[in-house]
A and B are shown apart, each in its own frame.
Chain A
Amino acid sequence: MPDHVHTSAEDEHDSAYAGLLVNDAHWAFGTDFEDPLAGVDTTIPEGIDAPTLAAYALMLGDDSLVMSHRIAEWTSNAPDLEDDIALSNIALDLLGQSRLLLARAAKADDSVVPALPEGSPAPPEDALAFFREAHEFRNVRFAEVVNGDFAEATVRVLLFSVWRLAVWERLRASTDHVLSAVAVKGVKELTYHRDYAARWFVTLAQGTEESRSRLLAALDELWPLWPELFDTHPVEAAAAASGVGVDPATVREAAEAVLDQVLTAADVPRPEVARRSGVLGRTGRDGMHGEALSRMLAEMQSVARAHPRGQW
C-alpha cells in the first residue's frame, strides 16, 4: 500500500511539472472556472425591455462586485485560518455572481458598457467593472462601507445575505433565463453566507463581554443603511412589473422575520438607530455613493486602467 501511494504520487506530480508546456489531459480542467451558464438559454427573451434588464442586472452585479471586494480585503487578515477560507469563499461566490450579472447587463444593452480605446481586448463585464466612474455604479451604499473589525464583517455578511436571499429566492422565477439561473445558484451560496454569519453573530453575542459589545457597536453602525436595501428604485419597479426582477420592498417582511430569528437566538435587541439619508434624496441605486466607493475603485481599477489595451 505505501509503495503504491509513493509511486503514484511521484509519477503524477513529476509529470505535472514537466507537462507545463504541453496541453495534456492532466490539465483538461484548464485555468478557468466551470461555466455556470452551461446549458442556459442566454438569448434575451421576447417581450423583455432590454434597457430595464440591463439596468437591473447592473444593480445586482454592482452589489456583488463591491461587496466581494470588501470581503476579499479580509484575505490573510481573518481571526483564524478557517475564517480566512470562509470569507474568501464568500468573496469568490459574490465575484462569480458579478461576472455573470455584468455580462448579462452588457448583453442586454451594450450602451451601458463604457467605450474603451480601440484594440482593447477587455470583455464587456471587465469594461463595466474597471472603466466606470463611481457615480455610474448602482450598488446599494451598504456594500461599499469601509471594513471594520470581525464583528462588523459578521453583521455585514448577515444583513446583506438575509436581504439578498429574500430577493433572490423570488428572482429564481425571473422571466430572464440568465437572471433566473444566477439566482438559483446564488440562493445556495447566499444561504451558506447567511448561515456562516448567523453562527458567528450568535457566538459573538453570547461569547464574551468584549465580543458582545463589539457586535452591538457593529450592528448600530450598519443599521442606518439597512432600510435603503428595501427602497424601490424605478428600475426595480419596472423590472418587477415585467417579471424580470423583484421589488425589494415586497420582501422586507420576510427578510425582517429571518433577521428577527437570528436576533432572538443571539438575544440582541433590534437597534434603534435612524436610517441614513441620501444626497438630494438620492442613494446608491441612483449612483450617489459615500466617499469610500471612489477610493475603492481607484485601487481596484488602477492596473486595468493603466493598460487599457492589455491582455490579462
Chain B
Amino acid sequence: MTLTETPLDAGTQADLESHFEATIARNDRIEPRDWMPDGYRRTLVRQIAQHAHSEIIGMQPEGNWISRAPSLRRKAILLAKVQDEAGHGLYLYSAAETLGVSRLELTEMLISGRQKYSSIFNYPTLSYADVGSIGWLVDGAAICNQVPLCRTSFGPYGRAMIRVCKEESFHQRQGYELLTTMMRGTDEQRAMVQESVDRFWWPALMMFGPPDADSPNTAQSMAWGIKRNTNDELRQKFVDMSVPQAEALGVTLPDPDLAWNDERAHYDFGQPDWDEFMQGVKGNGPCNAQRLAHRRRAHEDGAWVRAAATAFATKEATA
C-alpha cells in the first residue's frame, strides 16, 4: 500500500495542515488530490475497505436463498438485491482506490483476515424469512449507519454513500414488504417470521459497534468528519424507528427491557451479548470461517480468468 506522501518542509506542512483543518471545519469535502494527514488516509482506507468487504461478504447470507426463493417474483427481487450489493462493493472499492490502494490489495487483505467486515454477516440464514429480516433490520441498521456518511468529509466516499443509501432504502423496503406478506400467510409463516426476527434483532443492534465507552476510535473519526454520530446515538435512533415498525408488522422484539421512556423521549432497551459479538470479531462466529472460505475460493478460482484478461489486454495493446 502507498499510504505515505513525500516529506515536506515544516512551513509547507503547517500550511497544508491548516488548509485541511479549515476544510473539515467548513464541513467541506476533502478530495483525493488534496493533502491529507496520514492518519486520516489510513483511517479512511480501513473504514472504506471494511465497508466494501461487508457489501461483498454480505452477498453470501442472502445469496444462500436465491436458489430456493419460493416465487419467481421473490427470486428476481432477491437476485437483484444481491447484485446491488456487488455494485455497492464496486463503488466503495473505487472510492478506496482514489486513496492509492487497489481492489486486489484490499481483497487480499480481506481473505487473509487482515481486514474485517461487518460481523452481522457471520450469522447464518436459516429460513426464507431471514431474507426479509435482513432487509428490514440489517439494511435498516446499515441505513442508520450510512446516512450520516453521505456527509462524510472525504468526497468519493460521501458520493458513493449517497448512491448506496438510496439502494439500501429500497432493500429495506423490500425486506419489510416480504415480512408483511408472510405475516398475512399461514401460521407456519408467521412463526417463521417471529423466529427470524428473534435471531436477527440483537445482531442488528450490534451493527452499530460497541458502546461508546468501549469504542476508542470514535472521537478521532468524529473530529475528522469521517464519522458523524457515535455508536450509541445511532443505535438509539435505530431502536426508536424499529419499534413501531415491529408493532405494525405484528412481531415481538425479543427484549424484555424494551420500553418507552417519557423523560428521555426514547425507548429504553437491553444490551446485546457483547461477548458473542467479540467472538465474531475475533473470527469465532458461526459463519466466519465459511464466509471467508467462500470468498477466498471465488477469488482463487477466478485467478486464471483475471490472468487471461490481463494477458489478452497486453496482446491487444501491442498488436
Contact = CB atoms under 8 A, between A and B. Distances in A.
Interface of A: 2-3, 5-6, 9-10, 12-14, 16-18, 20-21, 27, 31-33, 65, 69, 72-73, 75-85, 88-89, 91-92, 95-96, 98-99, 102, 122-123, 125-126, 129-130, 149-150, 202-204, 206-208, 210-211, 214, 299-300, 302-304, 307, 309-312
8 contacts: A10-B148, A31-B174, A75-B63, A76-B63, A99-B72, A207-B310, A299-B68, A310-B186
Q: Which 5 A-B pairs have the closest CB atoms?
A: A79-B302, A207-B308, A211-B308, A311-B185, A9-B150
B188 interface: yes
Contact of B70 (A13, A78, A307): A307
B169 A13 contact: yes
Contacts of A98: 72
A21 B248 CA distance: 8
Contacts of B103: 81
Among B148, B161, B169: residue with most chain A CB under 10 A: B169
B79 A92 contact: yes
B79 to A, nearest CB: 6
B76 A95 contact: yes
B308 A208 contact: yes
Contact of A18 (B28, B241, B304): B241
A99 B28 contact: no
Interface string B118-146: 00000000001000000000001001101
B54 interface: no
B186 A309 contact: yes
Given A96-B76, A99-B72, A307-B186, A17 B66 contact: no
A99 B76 contact: yes
A73 B64 CA distance: 10
Contact residues of A: prevailing secondary structure: helix
A96 B177 CA distance: 20
A129 B67 CA distance: 12
Given A300-B67, A307-B186, A310-B189, A6 B151 contact: yes
B290 interface: no
A14 to B, nearest CB: 6
A230 B311 CA distance: 36
A310 B70 CA distance: 9
A134 B306 CA distance: 37
B75 A95 contact: yes
Given A2-B27, A13-B150, A85-B87, 14 more contacts: A2-B28, A72-B79, A75-B79, A76-B56, A81-B86, A88-B83, A122-B71, A202-B312, A204-B305, A208-B311, A210-B308, A299-B67, A303-B69, A307-B185
Contacts of A72: 66-67, 75, 79
B81 to A, nearest CB: 10
B235 to A, nearest CB: 14
Contacts of B172: 17, 20
B76 A81 contact: no
A99 B73 contact: yes
A256 to B, nearest CB: 25
Contact of B245 (A21, A65, A208): A21
A304 B144 contact: no
Contacts of A16: 143, 165-166, 169
Nearest to B59: A76
B177 A204 contact: no
A202 to B, nearest CB: 8
